[in-house]
Amino acid sequence: MSKDIVLAFSGGLDTSFCVPYLKERGWAVHTVFADTGGVDAAERVFIENRARELGAASHVTVDGGPAIWDGFVKPFVWAGEGYQGQYPLLVSDRYLIVDAALARCAQLGTRAIAHGCTGMGNDQVRFDLAVKASGEYEIVAPIREIQKQHTQTRAFEQKYLEERGFGVRAKQQSYTINENLLGVTLSGGEIDLWQAPGEGARGWCKPRPDWPTDALRVRVTFAHGEAVALDSVKIAGHELLAKLNASFAAYGVGRGLYTGDTTIGLKGRIVYEAPGLTALLVAHRALEEAVLTKQQNRFKPEVARRWIELAYEGFFHDPLKADLEAFLASSQRMVNGEVVLETHGGSVSAVAVASAHLLNSKGATYAQSADWGVAEAEGFIKLFGMSSTLWAQVNRK
């Protein structure tokens, strides 16, 4: 009798390969697609049909939009940092995908779960550690298994599927593509060869010749650091991010070419596109800079960088991450107000900030006017620089 196993399924090359591979090894494969917002209705239908075509015993699609907003986007925007100062953690939906797959395991009464992660990347760490933090499960990773015998795994997977009568999309033959509500990442091909990305290495962001001629202005409203309205219209977080993605992608905002230090020690090079997240980070930072104290603005990035590292490296369920989130949530108490974003294409700026918590002095404006006198200014400078001044006096030759 076949044993039940739940496969986190996206319809891409790797997870498509996993279905017949697992079936041929005696598993009844139950596919789960956690729709974390990167596909349209037509793509959802394709994924469902693909699972049936490949012979899945059952298939379910789970709406992961609200979960990815609450579980990742909110604390990520509070943190306000990218990994190594750049990468916006676009594959962090993996943790929510694991949750959806484990929920399906519970429905089926099985403790076996499979994923299509390779043995060369970070996703295997994220998947495995998230599963291990949730209980005792058998983890099956077919792509890792075939890498023991095959060095050109994508070519082997493609041939394997084609020999069994299953087609492979043209775009999946050139690049590894990950797409969700957070954005798009592309790797493989000339990207891995440290060459300039080809025209095919493009997701949502329009190239410069296609940018609109008129500037785009958008008003984002925040309550306790969470974006809650767009142009004064209240909207659910995941829907707000989807709208920002569409609006700013048309102007090419949020696209980058990134090389970073991966969890497993290799250098990773990808093209990424995160138009909505980029816009949110710019808006949130502009509001924070105006309402947090100097000490908060100085210290918070240290917490943020540690949170980002935990999320990137697979420690999504480590208690330290929850501890850091408690600090981040506390720091957002007064992060309330509106920010106007503007783009002419390529980049986005926060051009106006409004909040009841702006740290404005009623009697002074920087470099313009002051409600203190010359003596007070000179006394402050003398005391503030006392240590450095004394060192210079004592050690002057």
The CATH number given to 3-172 is 3.40.50.620
Angle at the Cα of 140 from the Cα atoms of 128 and 6, rounded to 5 degrees: 90
User: Domain 205-354: which topology?
Assistant: Argininosuccinate synthetase, chain A, domain 2 (3.90.1260)
Which pairs from 37-46 meet CB under 8 Å and 24+ separation? 37/64, 37/65, 37/68, 37/180, 37/181, 37/182, 37/238, 37/241, 37/242, 38/178, 38/179, 38/180, 38/181, 38/182, 38/184, 39/179, 43/11, 46/11
- Euclidean distance between CA atoms 101 and 116, whole angstroms: 13
Which of 42, 40, 41, 46 shows the shortest CA–CA distance to 10? 46
Look up tokens 């404006």; give the residue: 365
Please give the pLDDT value at position 1.
55
Place of tokens 């990347």: 121
What is the predicted pLDDT for the residue at 307?
Answer: 97
Q: How far is CA 361 from CA 288, 324, 358, in A?
A: 17, 31, 9
Query: If phi over 0 gives left and psi between -120 and 50 gives alpha, with beta otherwise, what is residue 253?
Result: beta
Over the chain (397 residues), the average pLDDT of each successive run of 10 is 89 94 97 88 93 97 92 97 94 93 96 92 92 96 91 90 89 76 92 92 94 98 98 96 97 95 88 97 98 96 96 96 98 98 98 95 74 87 92 89
The pairing of strands 233-234 and 226-230 is antiparallel
Confirm if 6 and 114 have CB atoms less than 8 A apart.
Answer: yes
- Cα-trace Rg, the chain: 25
Provide the pairing of β-strand 226-230 with 27-35. unpaired
The residue written with tokens 């789960």 in the block is 32
Burial 51-86 (b: 16+ CB within 10 A, else e): beebebbbbbbbebbebbbebbbbbbbbbbbbbeee
Say if residues 315 and 65 touch (Cβ distance below 8 Å).
Answer: no
Q: Helix 386-395 vs helix 374-384: angle between axes, to the nearest 10 degrees?
A: 60
Integer Cα distance of 352 and 290 in angstroms: 11
Could you write out the DSSP letters of every residue in 328-341? Answer: HHHHTTT--EEEEE
CB 137 within 8 A of CB 112: yes
Residue 100: predicted pLDDT: 95
Q: How far is CA 248 from the centre of its chain?
A: 16
Gap between the Cα atoms of 130 and 74, Å rounded = 19
Stated pTM of the model: 0.89
How many CB atoms are closer than 10 A to CB 307?
23
Domain ranges of the chain: 3-172, 205-354, 365-397
Calpha distance 333→326 (Å, rounded)? 12
Type of residue numbered 368? Q
Helix (H, G, I), strand (E, B) or coil at 384: helix
